[in-house]
Amino acid sequence: MSTTSQKHRDFVGEPMGDKPVTALSGIGDSLGKKLEDQGFDKAFVVLGQFLLLKKDTEMFTEWLKDASGANSRQAGSCAQCLKEWCDAFL
Amino acid sequence: MALRAEDPSQLSKSRLKSDLVAHNVALPPSKSRKEVYVELHLKHIERKTAADFSSDEEEQARHAKEEHPEVPDPGALTDDDLQAALLKRGVKVGPVVASTRALYEKKLLKLLQPDGHGQLNGADSGAGYSDSEGEERGGEGDDAESDCEEEKQTVQRSDQAPQQRRQLDMAVVDERTRTDQSLYYTPKASAHKTKTKLHQEPVEPTFKDMFAATESTPTGIYATQRRPIKGAAGRPVRYAYPDTPSSPSTLQRREVARRLVPVHIQLVVFLVVTCLLYFIYVCVEDNSWSPFLASLDNRNQGPDSEEGLLLQADTPALSGQE
């Protein structure tokens, strides 16, 4: 818990439903906009990509950096967020 | 930058030289005549003018083909072949679809490079990566969330060893890496997780059937053991024990409770009897004690006439009452 942000805890605490992509930990407004431009407009679409990569956080981090221009910290945070969500709900 | 469709002979010698250097062509000795430069320029750069992008790819393809005759350019592989090539190198790959294809192609390229010439190509790819990262970092600058420190870190890291950084077998240790977890993500079926769950596990026979089939999946995709969503997607919540078992103390309490009600009845009966006795006592007291005393004297004198005396005592009392 010490290294997770409030946004992370909010996301991982409940089913994501129709939350926007900016609800993901590490994804702010500008990164969210870039993802939406590519068609990843909802958090569950990004989850889909994460699952396609077989829930491999490193591959997902790399993909996210390429797709949205995120830095390592942001991409890693997002990957960790999705991984924990999957552990809890999938 | 678009190349002008000019006659190279019209360009200056220094310009030709710089063009050749830009296209990675070995320069002739500096004392050569301009014609030599023109020839080289025509030979190498002619290809560029034909079609910029396709020639780039051709060069790349030629590069790749020279290194690895067995595996051609990952861009030319089919989805299945790409997947097979990655699996051969021990990379666990998911389905190769539109969104994942680019990622897997890059990964295969990275894996191919250390196998081949190594440093030279590594440097090239490193330069390529640093270029792209430069672009990405430019995009990051707009990001409200990115810190300057983070950018410096990525710059330093990319400058030092792009190959090492990109090797995904190595753990990427950031300052914010969680130390309570392993850095390598291995999705194994972790049995201990299910034991530590706080809620009761519903008994689901289909759940176990799912796990029994995981070893025989053809694609190698397997699901890790997770707690299912209770009450969702038409899954009824069923617990192993229908009722909570009652402890012996509660059973005793229940038995005692059953007796409590008769106790009240017992009390009422007792009170009624007490009242009756008091009533009789009062009645006896109303009558004079003399016949009673007389009967007592008679009783002392002769025990034979006891019953008769008692009867006598009873009947005067009753007659007294009337």
Q: What is the mean pLDDT of chain B?
A: 65
CA distance B6 to A42: 51
pTM of the model: 0.37
A69–B92: do the CB atoms touch at under 8 Å?
A: no
Nearest beta carbon to residue A52 from set B92, B99, B151: B99
Measured in whole angstroms, how far is the alpha carbon of residue B231 from the centre of its chain?
Answer: 18
From chain A residues 43-72, the ones with a CB under 8 A of any chain B CB are 49, 51-59, 61-63, 65-66, 69-72
Residue B94 pLDDT level (bands cut at 50, 70, 90):
confident
Distance of residue A75 Cα from the nearest chain B Cα, in angstroms: 11
Tell me the residue length of chain A.
90
Q: What is the pLDDT of residue B122?
A: 44
Measured in whole angstroms, how far is the alpha carbon of residue B214 from the centre of its chain?
Answer: 19
For the ranges A59-68, B56-65, B124-133, B232-241, the lowest mean pLDDT is seen at: B124-133
Asked if B81 has any chain A CB less than 8 Å from its own CB, the reply is: no
CB contact set of A76 (below 8 Å; sequence gap of 6+): A26, A57, A61, B172, B174, B176, B177
For residue range A52-86, list pLDDT tens digits in order: 999 999 999 999 999 999 999 999 999 999 999 99
Q: Which of A67, A64, A69 is nearest to A80 (CA)?
A: A64
Query: What count of Cα atoms within 13 Å lies in the side-chain half-sphere of residue B277?
Result: 6
A56–B140: do the CB atoms touch at under 8 Å?
A: no
Structural domains of chain A, ranges and CATH numbers in brackets = 6-89 (1.10.150.40)
Neighbouring CB atoms inside 10 A of B147's CB total 12
% of residues, chain B, pLDDT over 70? 32
B143–A69: do the CB atoms touch at under 8 Å?
A: yes
Residue B285 pLDDT level (bands cut at 50, 70, 90):
confident
DSSP B83-122: HHHHHHTT-------HHHHHHHHHHHHHHHHHHTT-HHHH
Does residue B86 contact residue A59 with C-beta atoms inside 8 Å?
Answer: no
Q: Which one is predicted more confidently, A24 or B197?
A: A24
> What class is the B8-49 domain?
mainly alpha
Angle, alpha carbons B194-B195-B198 (nearest 5°): 90
Strand partners, A20: A42
Q: Rg of the Cα trace of chain A? A: 11
Asked if A25 has any chain B CB less than 8 Å from its own CB, the reply is: no
Q: Which one is predicted more confidently, A12 or B65?
A: A12
* Per-residue DSSP letter, B27: P
Nearest beta carbon to residue A52 from set B97, B143, B151: B97
Residue B172: list chain A partners with CB under 8 A: 58, 61, 72, 76
Residue for token pair 């002769």: B302
- Name the phi and psi angles at A20, rounded to 5: -75, 170
Would the pLDDT of B135 be above 80?
no
State which amino acid sits at residue B143.
D
Would the pLDDT of B148 be above 80?
no
Residue B221: list chain A partners with CB under 8 A: 54
Highest mean pLDDT among B161-175, B225-239, B264-278, B288-302: B264-278
CA distance B195 to A45: 31
State whether residue A20 is helix, strand or coil.
Answer: strand
Instruction: Provide the ipTM.
Output: 0.86
CB contact set of B256 (below 8 Å; sequence gap of 6+): none
From chain B residues 206-245, the ones with a CB under 8 A of any chain A CB are 221, 226-227, 229
Domain ranges of chain B: 8-49, 79-111
Residue B142 pLDDT level (bands cut at 50, 70, 90):
very low
CA distance A44 to A15: 10
CA distance B74 to A60: 20
CA distance B277 to B283: 10
Residue A15: list chain B partners with CB under 8 A: 229
For B72, counting Cβ atoms within 10 Å of its Cβ (0-12 exposed, 13-18 middle, 19+ buried), the class is middle
Asked if B128 has any chain A CB less than 8 Å from its own CB, the reply is: no
Give the DSSP H or E segment for B249: helix B248-286
